Amino acid sequence: MGGFIAKESEKFERFSDWFDNVLLTARIADNRYPVKGFIVYLENGWFVIERVRRRLEELLEEDGHLPMYYPLVATLENFSREAEHIKGFMGEVFAVGKLRTGENEAQQETPLILRPTSETIMYPMFALWISNHSDLPLKVHQSCAVYRYETKATRALYRVREIPWNEAHTAHASRGEAEEQVRKAVEIYRKVLDELGIAYLILRRPDFDKFAGAEYSIAFDAWNPDGKVNQVATVHNLGTNFSRVFGIVFEKREGGKEYAWQLCYGFGYSRVLAAVIAQHGDDLGPIFPPWVAPIQIVVVPIPYKGREAEVYEYAKRVYGLLRPGFRVRLDDREDVTPGEKYYYWERRGVPLRVEVGPRDVEKSAVVLARRDTGEKFSVPIEMLREEVAKVLEDIARSLSERSKRRLSEQIVDAPSLEEGARNVELGKICRVSWCGSEECALSLKSSLGAEVRGYRYDVDEKSDRPCIVCGSPGKTYLYVSRAY
Ligand code: PR8
CATH number of the domain that residue 271 is part of: 3.30.930.10
309 occurs within a structural domain: yes
Same structural domain for residues 265 and 321? no
> Rounded to the nearest whole angstrom, what is the distance from the C-alpha of residue 2 to the centroid of ligand 1?
41
**What pLDDT was estimated at residue 105?**
65
Same structural domain for residues 181 and 303? no
CATH number of the domain that residue 440 is part of: 3.30.110.30
Same structural domain for residues 336 and 365? yes
Same structural domain for residues 46 and 92? yes
> Rounded to the nearest whole angstrom, what is the distance from the C-alpha of residue 184 to the centroid of ligand 1?
19
CATH number of the domain that residue 371 is part of: 3.40.50.800
3 occurs within a structural domain: no
pLDDT in tens, 204-241: 999 999 998 999 999 999 999 999 999 999 999 999 99
Same structural domain for residues 419 and 380? no
CA distances from 388 to 243, 315, 323, 353, 354 (A): 52, 15, 12, 10, 9
In this structure, which residue's CA is closest to atom 11 in ligand 1? 159
Same structural domain for residues 244 and 333? no
Same structural domain for residues 331 and 382? yes
CB of 236 within 6 A of ligand 1: the answer is yes
Same structural domain for residues 138 and 38? yes
Under 8 Å CB-to-CB from 322, ≥6 apart: which residues? 297, 299, 328, 354, 384, 385, 388
CB of 160 within 6 A of ligand 1: the answer is yes
Which of 280, 309, 333 terminates a domain? The answer is 280
406 occurs within a structural domain: no
User: Which is nearest to 84 in space by CA: 292, 296, 236?
Assistant: 236
CB of 143 within 6 A of ligand 1: the answer is no
Sign of dihedral through CA atoms 50, 55, 58, 63? negative
> Rounded to the nearest whole angstrom, what is the distance from the C-alpha of residue 268 to the centroid of ligand 1?
6
Atom of ligand 1 nearest to the CA of 219: 26
CB of 264 within 6 A of ligand 1: the answer is yes
CA distances from 452 to 41, 97, 160 (A): 32, 39, 22
| pTM (two decimals) | 0.97
Atom of ligand 1 nearest to the CA of 159: 5
Atom of ligand 1 nearest to the CA of 118: 17
> Rounded to the nearest whole angstrom, what is the distance from the C-alpha of residue 65 to the centroid of ligand 1?
19
Same structural domain for residues 199 and 339? no
Atom of ligand 1 nearest to the CA of 154: 11
In angstroms, how far is the first alpha carbon of the chain from the final one?
39
CA–CA separation, 277 and 52 (whole Å): 14
User: Which is nearest to 110 in space by CA: 75, 157, 79?
Assistant: 75
- Calculate ∠ Cα 285-287-292, nearest 5°: 130
> Rounded to the nearest whole angstrom, what is the distance from the C-alpha of residue 478 to the centroid of ligand 1?
22
Q: Which residues of the chain have pLDDT under 50?
A: 1-3
Average pLDDT over all residues of the chain: 95
Which of 280, 313, 344 terminates a domain? The answer is 280
> Rounded to the nearest whole angstrom, what is the distance from the C-alpha of residue 387 to the centroid of ligand 1?
40
> Rounded to the nearest whole angstrom, what is the distance from the C-alpha of residue 267 to the centroid of ligand 1?
7
287 occurs within a structural domain: no
CA–CA separation, 264 and 272 (whole Å): 18
CA–CA separation, 156 and 20 (whole Å): 8
CA–CA separation, 434 and 472 (whole Å): 9
Which of 357, 375, 397 terminates a domain? The answer is 397
Task: Give the 3-state secondary structure of 333-354.
Answer: CCCCCHHHHHHHHHHCCCCEEE
**What pLDDT was estimated at residue 106?**
62
Q: How many residues does the chain have?
A: 484
90 occurs within a structural domain: yes
40 occurs within a structural domain: yes
CB of 167 within 6 A of ligand 1: the answer is yes
Same structural domain for residues 220 and 175? yes
Residue 435 domain boundaries: 411-483
Number of separate domains in the chain: 3
405 occurs within a structural domain: no
Same structural domain for residues 249 and 376? no
In this structure, which residue's CA is closest to atom 19 in ligand 1? 268
Atom of ligand 1 nearest to the CA of 167: 18
User: Which is nearest to 167 in space by CA: 85, 67, 248, 242?
Assistant: 67
CA distances from 328 to 278, 292, 368 (A): 24, 13, 13
Specify the 3-state DSSP secondary structure of 11: helix
CA–CA separation, 183 and 160 (whole Å): 28
223 occurs within a structural domain: yes
Same structural domain for residues 358 and 469? no
pLDDT in tens, 80-116: 888 787 888 889 999 999 887 776 666 667 889 999 9
**What pLDDT was estimated at residue 3?**
43
